[in-house]
Structure 1
């Protein structure tokens, strides 16, 4: 959708979809394979590998094949754009392989999400880089996504010895970080591109502020899903704003 709004033709949108799909499959499958022992210990029966429905070798092979397919699909978008996307995928693999256990856990998310607008625009004629506002918004969206993704599993992660930045900040600190990061994304997306903001932009900014406040102020009970749902709502709003601004990425 972002590629289409930025001006990519149907073939370009298809190569973007294929590159991102194979990259994400390799990242998701490798994550489950690497975390197998931890997921079994945590009784993650929602994951087929941890539940015993799949063999580890099958998942390892699937991840490797998806990663191999990601290379030509990425480069089909052009050498520069394809390399940028492969760097983003490498950042995600680095997270899986150990960065998520360190203080620097948000960095792979910031790099991978921040490069997404560049992957889209560098495949356009002339290989233009996106505006700085788009790179900043993508990076902050990644950081917010990181904190939102970790929120439901912080206690299990700590029990397994995973001490990334969200785990070190704790549930409340992570909610605050997620809310601030995603609210900042809205600011960049609304005020970054040239041109009139319009009523939709101001409405989006007001809704972003409301959701950003709801994230840390929602119920702090250990089983409460309200902060997580508010974070997801804010992230979806940011994605919608990014799509609306897709034609102005460069």
Structure 2
């Protein structure tokens, strides 16, 4: 790997066959690809290797672990000589701070869904219930609801008209009508759910049910659209890519 001597953002040239990042490692930077091609490889829970795809000019790699402060979700290896620009953790955090709080929750939730699709564990959320709000404005009227254990938010083939940000309590996603099989996943404070169905109009094939009572903030589609529009361009682009990836995964 060689670094350009020019001032400004750090630009690197990487030879073919170099592993830029490994699945499971902690992350301190991402890369914006200017030229060349890289393959993205997933080590599956059974120890196999699956090629997720090939990326090239204009792609960003390594950003997911910076956004949700988790481990690398895949291994990335150069197929050809690659020229890329380093994006530090601090730079990415700066982009997130310039966005509405809801934008961060949305990105983290989309990444959590991608990790689930990969068979990887979620990244834990920490904080007090008061910290988990979709807006910094106390003047804005926000719909918060107290939810009892057993409350069903939505079920299979039911249109989803809102997403939910959990401030306290716990929610499970269950297959089908929720009467058979184990939980697909559970969400706790600081987690967002229902946003994929809300933003894409796709009907759910699962049931979302409260397994512990608490408080949820109810968020409509317009609020998400406003949050995405307020994002810096790179985060706006990533949001659309993640939604497209998740939609294709479900369709397949």
Q: TM-score range by the shorter chain?
A: 0.3 to 0.5
Greater helix share, 1 or 2?
1
Greater strand share, 1 or 2?
2
TM-score, normalised via structure 1 length? 0.32
